[in-house]
Copies of this chain bind each other. A is one copy, B any other.
């Protein structure tokens, strides 16, 4: 066993040797509750008390029992949402051949996902947007998100080398795309009437013009 505090998750993981998506029902339920609460009140106001209440638990102790602290829970939330997002968006991208079509699919796919899972995306944007250099485990986590972005940056670069995209700093472009999407996510949280799919098409058009090689 480990040194200090062994949690249900750690035990489960140790037994199965499997990563976190082999959740016990309760863990998944708590993660789901956390996603809803974070989407509703934001990262910092998402207290264990509120999450426990949403999850139908009688005490916050139960969350501490299942997770090795707040950071661990947040990590699980991010993991869960990334898993969902990847499964949702990736196939929609891989259908396409041209870099331009793939970029469009990426943007529209993210906003379709938002339309179907508004809380999930709101939660991850809240968490990643409020991270500071506090917990080392969480910082390592930011690295993962960065690596994700790097993969997409590489796609942009390839498109440029292929002559399909014009000349621009691919990191700046990628961040602008990400920022625009996340902004829609944030607004959708407050404004349920927002037509996110329409916004997706508009953004896809926008960044198509911004990336296309001038004809």
Contacts and interface: CB of A to CB of B under 8 A. Distances in A.
Contact of A180 (B133, B180, B184, B202): B180
Interface of A is mostly: helix
A1 B53 contact: yes
A209 interface: yes
B199 A172 contact: yes
Contact of A129 (B5, B129, B175, B203): B129
A206 interface: yes
A186 B182 CA distance: 13
B132 A206 contact: no
A101 interface: no
Taking the full assembly, how many copies of this chain does it contain?
4
Contacts of A206: 168, 172-173, 176, 210
Contacts of A41: 132
B1 A186 contact: no
Interface string A181-194: 01110110010000
Contacts of A70: none
Interface of A: 1, 5-6, 11, 41-45, 49, 53, 56, 58, 129-130, 132-133, 166, 168-169, 172-173, 175-176, 178-180, 182-184, 186-187, 190, 198-199, 202-203, 205-207, 209-210, 212
12 contacts: A6-B53, A43-B44, A45-B132, A133-B190, A168-B206, A169-B202, A175-B180, A176-B180, A176-B203, A179-B180, A179-B183, A180-B180
- Give 3 nearest A-B pairs by CB, closest first: A179-B183, A44-B44, A176-B180
